[in-house]
Chain A
Amino acid sequence: SQQGEEDPQALSIQEGENATMNCSYKTSINNLQWYRQNSGRGLVHLILIRSNEREKHSGRLRVTLDTSKKSSSLLITASRAADTASYFCATDGGGGNKLTFGTGTQLKVEL
């Protein structure tokens, strides 16, 4: 089964609004990562947050991590049409193992 599960599966917002996506996982982790995918091809790494961190920022992105709840959220502020993509979380399983990806949230930002 998938280690990470994103919620919601799909999200549609207006340009300028904020978008929040959530990820839940099952086992302990060393780090959690968020990726973006455009047009069903290669993924692009957005941000990595380690298990001893609670919040991390990168530009318009804010990621939080709650290890007690085994959950993370990705916030995109002041969204743009170009943010339209699928967003995936990925976890490492805590033992230096391979990353396991969730099923993704499809974000659509409308003008």
Chain B
Amino acid sequence: GAGVSQSPSNKVTEKGKDVELRCDPISGHTALYWYRQRLGQGLEFLIYFQGNSAPDKSGLPSDRFSAERTGESVSTLTIQRTQQEDSAVYLCASSLVGWDEQFFGPGTRLTVL
């Protein structure tokens, strides 16, 4: 079956613009995660959705970042008024349950000029 997909694969934007990143998880996976990875660094947790529970937003770095998920389907990560330090690869993952093996998408490489 299809894995986790993300779009776009690459996004170049100007400082101050808003961007929207999309993640399509594996069908039936109740948990969905967003991570950020700066060049040469580890994964930085951003937000976690588990079923219909309130999301864990503890990793969002500022109020410019927000994410939504409709039920157990698509999720959108929105970054408002982008800054150069937002440049990174944004990875989405899903899992059957919240502490199980995670399946990652290919990521979106965001470059803020």
Contact = CB atoms under 8 A, between A and B. Distances in A.
Interface of A: 2, 30-31, 33, 35, 40-45, 48, 88, 90, 92, 96-104
B101 A45 contact: yes
Interface string B92-106: 010001110111111
25 contacts: A2-B42, A30-B99, A40-B37, A40-B89, A41-B91, A41-B106, A41-B107, A42-B4, A42-B104, A42-B107, A43-B43, A43-B102, A44-B104, A45-B103, A88-B42, A88-B43, A90-B102, A96-B99, A98-B48, A98-B98, A98-B99, A99-B99, A99-B102, A101-B35, A101-B43
Given A97-B98, A101-B43, A43 B91 contact: yes
Interface centre among A40, A88, A100, A104 (most CB of B within 10 A): A40
Interface residues of B, number: 25
B102 A42 contact: no
Contacts of A102: 42
A33 B42 contact: no
B39 interface: yes
A75 to B, nearest CB: 20
A33 B45 contact: no
B76 to A, nearest CB: 18
Majority SS at the chain A contact face: loop
Interface of B: 4, 31, 33, 35, 37, 39, 41-43, 45, 48, 56, 89, 91, 93, 97-99, 101-107
Contacts of A45: 101-103
Given A33-B102, A99-B33, 5 more contacts: A31-B99, A43-B91, A45-B101, A88-B42, A88-B43
A40 B39 contact: yes
A29 B53 CA distance: 22
B70 to A, nearest CB: 20
A99 B103 CA distance: 12
B54 to A, nearest CB: 13
A8 B48 CA distance: 29
A41 B89 contact: yes
